[in-house]
Structure 1
Amino acid sequence: MVRHADPLTGRASAPAARRRPSRRAVRAGAVVVWAAGIAAAFAVGWHLRRAGLATEDALPPLHARLRDRPPTWGMLPALAVAAAGVAVLPALVSRLPWRALPPVAWAGAALWAVALAVADGPGALSGPLDAPTEYPAGLAQLRPDPAEWLRTFTERLGGYTTHVRGHPPLPMLVLWLLERAGLPGTGWAAALVIAAGSSAAAAIAVTVRELAGERAARAAVPFLVLAPLGVWVATSMDALFLGVGAWGTALTALAARRRPARPGARVAAAVGAGLLLGCLPYLSYGLLPLFAVPAAVLLSARPRPVVLAALGAGLVVVPAALTAGGFWWPDGVRATLDTYLVSRGSARRSYGYFVFADLAVLGLLVGPAVAHALPDAVLDAVAAVRRAARALRSAPSPSPSPAPGPGPGAALPVCAALVGMLALDLSGVTKGEVERIWLPFAAWTLAAASLRGPRSRWWLAAQAATALAVQALVLSPW
């Protein structure tokens, strides 16, 4: 069967021509499913709440409420950033030298998150962290004796604030260290969260470059900057988790890089990656499936044994330190599950509803451009896994190999993040509030927008419009 274009006419052969409309139809269908799924999730949630069967959230599937009236003048900064980003970013990322792009992506994502948040006034940046259910409210119990607090964390879990009860102790220790560094208060905590969360745009761009080449990374940057999930980067502590996971994965990619590098630099990057990735289970119990993303990087890059050894050495540092301090992770999981089951919140949410409604929230986080590109990403990831399996069978010892190209290389972490979210969704561990919980996963799917699908300003504008609509219509506690 002929599968390529005729070299004389330049026209596609009949079988290829028949395949093209079907691929376009699949992409268009994915966008239709994206829109219909979101509409259905809100419609069913409204009916459940009206029937008294869903009372934990005012606007299911979001843990939020519908605004009485949209903000007016407050939306102007976000509108200005969106217009400038759509007009300037595609050309800018194609012309800047690569070394300037990660800082630009970081600054742009931070500006976008802040511009969206200040629609509710400057106090909206630190306001979410001032809530009595949040982490800073529990610092008073930690300050007198952090060592004792860590040692007795599990047995005294019931006496802590809601978010402290639902997570391991590391987020609180980070805030305590921030205070000890002379940066107390929720204002500095908000600055840390926004800086870390927005830096993921740079980290993901770096990872995509290592896996799929510079062209794919440049194509991804505008979508990483104007992401709809920017609505929840300022200010949810899960944005901090996003930054930690993203940079841990980026350092993994740099350690396993195909381009020439000093062995010492590879080892240092691998140790740094291990240190950051080792933090993930101690920041949130639900981040364990996020290890699928760095695992996908390792599968694609096939690093040398010394890199794997350095990564493993860094990986055990944080778990060993917290275990030596008296916190045993499995006990923390059990204690948190006990408090979850007796709570009046998410434990009472309907599994049957949220198992599909959480996917609709994912659609809001990532936008229509990702939905349009996702079919290509899945096919490319399957192809990349098959190639990696063949390579492992034919070459037992890892050796540098050419980058797999923009499609497969970028698609692997995209699909790995999707697998992680699906695992959490089907397990019932996440029922509601996934607009913040899934931030560390959802950001990776934005790289799909750099594949063979959407590249025009129209798709970038659709991404920005999704974020603006959510910010204008929905009032979220984060």
Structure 2
Amino acid sequence: MSLRDSGESAETTADGVAGDRAGRRRDLWAAACGALLVAAAVVVGRAIEQSDGSLHLGWPPLYAWWSPHVGPGTPAALAVAIAVIAYGPPLAARVPWRVLVPAAWATAMAWTWSLALIDGWHRGIARRLTTKYEYLQVIDRFDDIGAALRDFTHHILLGSPDHWPPHIAGHPPAATLTFVVLDRIGLGGGGWAGVWCITVGSSAVAAVLVGARALADERLARRATPFLVLAPGAVWVGASADGYFAGVAGWAVALLAVTRARRRTPTAPTAAFTLASGLLFGLTGYLSYGLTLFAVIAAGVVVVGHWGRGGGDRGGGGFGKRWFVLLVPLLAGTAVVPLAFTLVGFNWWEAYHLLVERYYQGAGGIRPYWYFIWANPACTVLVVGLATVAGLGRVLGSVPAAVRRLRNGQPTAADRLAALTVAALLTVAVADLSGMSKAETERIWLPFALWLLPATALLPLRDHRVWLAAQAVLALLINHLLHTGW
């Protein structure tokens, strides 16, 4: 047996990361089921679209059009993919952690930029956020920010005077204000908006790494690193505002994970991290209404962090003190952004209910729920890739044993990682069942989907390069064969 095989066997014993033949067959079956789901969504979706056009999609289940092409980003995308496949796994295992996290962010940016530039600078980046649906169309209507916020809800419904374009109406105003602020500081226009979204969106890779290390362990976070870097979802990070949202939400979760994983008595730095996490959670809810579902993932982080201490602090009232010190700054931070917008005059609940009404006026509500209830998950398969589907198969298969270990007070690092991805799966399920995400979930669910990717850490090391190749090929095919919207 080689040293590599011995290491893998040791990992199997310690963390339940199976590398046996049966486990690998199950990986292939899980990936095959994911591929079949996508194929069914394509075939059925095209039949529906040709029949009555009710999906309003050029290439269902994606918001995209068939358009085979190459571009200036093609050589760079191939180079990044080959480099990550060849050198990613060993480097992720050896590079010092303080170097690995920024390096992963930088490589994810390179991957995202190269994919976006397959469509060229203008079509792939600079024009993305300037179309009639997008935020930059209304910059001049925010000359008086206070007045615009107070009047925001009066322009959501389709029948209202000067109703907002789809993305402005479909999101709380913090999303639009981001691009207003960029314009005010001299970074106006679609190019700078695209740079912002790619930069912040790519940072979600670093955030997930930090969160996975805090809640599980460093070794599993390292194993997941190349898969996070080479995620097919980078196709939609560059350049859509949902990539930016994913970055903000990702750091909110990561900072909370760091504070929950600390085993010692809370300190001022811990409280500061918790306060920062709360601030980002509050901002997240004002970037997108649907991202309030991150409360599910946040709850998962709290529970998993508690497991990390072997069931919690049981002695002397330290547990109560810890909860108090962590909960107060978290809630205080979360309240800041909602309070600020409310004081200015924006009513989040009123805006949300008006958006629901607009949705069923025809801005999405006419799309058939019965199709998207299962086609949306097919979109998610395309975002996270077949390697993640295989990893999720391992996660779900490990649940019974993980529950037994939890009852015995001995959850492993792999159990905690699995619990984190299950929380993300539950979030996606709730979003799906709500019916408020019919189509376009390849970008809308990006913030949730990125927290599914750590499941790849449970795949056998010997298979990593094959699965990474599958991830890269999927992203390259999507970006070269389709013109993706938004």
Name the TM-score, length of structure 2 as normaliser: 0.88
Contact 1:406 1:451 in 2 (8 A): no
In the alignment, structure 1 residue 354 sits paired with structure 2 residue 376 = no
**Is 2:433 the counterpart of 1:433?**
no
The 3-state SS of whatever aligns with 2:240 is coil
Aligned to 1:335: 354
User: Aligned equivalents of 2:373 and 2:413: distance in 1?
Assistant: 32
Q: Is the 8 A contact 1:150 1:325 kept in 2?
A: yes
- The SS at the match of 1:194 is helix
Q: 1:423 aligns with which of 418, 421, 430?
A: 430
Supply the distance in 2 between the matched residues of 1:160 and 1:72 (Cα, whole angstroms).
34
Q: Is 1:317 matched with 2:317? A: no
Q: CA deviation at 1:260?
A: 5.1
* Aligned: 1:290 with 2:294: yes
Say whether 1:51 aligns with 2:51. yes
Match of 1:398 in 2: none
The correspondence for 2:412, drawn from 405, 412, 427, is: 405
- Structure 2 Cα separation of the partners of residues 422 and 239 of structure 1: 20
Counterpart contact for 1:167–1:285, Cα < 8 Å: yes
1:211 is aligned to 2:215: yes
Q: Give the one of 473, 476, 480 matched to 1:468.
A: 476
CA distance 1:360–1:272, change in 2 (3 Å): same
- The 8 Å contact of residues 30 and 375 in structure 1, kept in 2 or not, is answered as yes
Q: Which residue of 1 aligns with 2:7?
A: none
1:276 aligns with 2:294: no
1:7-45 residue CA offsets vs partner (Å, 9 max, x unmatched): xxx9x9xxx9xx966544433221110111111100111
Tell me, yes or no, if the aligned pair for 2:71 and 2:117 is still in contact at 8 Å.
no
Report the secondary structure of 2:172's partner residue: coil
Contact 2:304/2:420 (8 A) holds in 1: no
CA contact (8 A) 1:248 1:273 kept: yes
- What residue number does 2:253 align with? 249
**CA RMSD of superposed structures (Å):** 2.3
For 1:66, the equivalent position in structure 2 comes to: 66
1:207-246 equivalences under 5 Å are 207-246=211-250
Aligned to 1:174: 178
Gaps of 5+ in 2: 1-9, 158-162, 307-318
| AA aligned opposite 1:470 | I
Q: In structure 1, give the amino acid aligned to 2:441.
A: V
Following superposition, the deviation at residue 157 of structure 1 comes to 2.2
Deviation (angstroms), 1:117: 0.7
With over 3 angstroms needed to count, the CA separation of the structure-2 counterparts of 1:178 and 1:419, relative to structure 1, is same
TM-score by length of 1: 0.89
Deviation string for 1:349-405 (max 9, x for gaps)?
Answer: 1111111111111110011111111122124456656766786xxxxxxxxxx9x43
Give the Cα separation in 1 of the matches to 2:72 and 2:301: 44
Alignment CA distance shift 1:388-1:164 (3 Å): farther
Distance change in 2, residues 1:78/1:470 (3 Å): same
Contact 2:71/2:119, CA 8 A, preserved across alignment: no
Cα distance between partner residues in 2 of 1:110 and 1:381: 34
2:381 is matched with 363
Alignment of 1:28-39 (within 5 A): 28-39=28-39
Partner of 1:89: 88
| In structure 2, distance between residues paired with 1:389 and 1:251 | 28
CA distance in 2, matches of 1:55, 1:379: 34
SS of the aligned residue for 1:475 comes to: strand
1:259–1:191: structure 2 CA closer, same or farther, 3 Å change rule? farther
Q: Measure the CA separation in 1 of the matches of 2:374 and 2:390.
A: 19
**2:78 is the alignment partner of 1:79:** yes
In 2: Cα distance, 1:155 partner to 1:236 partner: 26
Residue 99 to residue 55, structure 1, CA distance change in 2 (3 Å): closer
CA 1:389/1:268 → structure 2, altered by over 3 Å: closer, same or farther?
farther
1:461 CA drift (Å) = 1.0
> Per-residue displacement from partner, 1:125-174 (whole Å, max 9, x unpaired)?
1221111110111111112x110111111122241111101111110112
Q: CA deviation at 1:335?
A: 0.9
What CA distance in whole angstroms lies between the structure 2 residues aligned with 1:382 and 1:271?
35
User: For residues 140 and 248 of structure 1, what CA distance do their matches in structure 2 show?
Assistant: 31
Q: Percent identity?
A: 39
1:11-22 aligned at under 5 Å gives the runs: none
Amino acid at match of 1:443: L
1:414 aligns with one of 405, 416, 421: 421
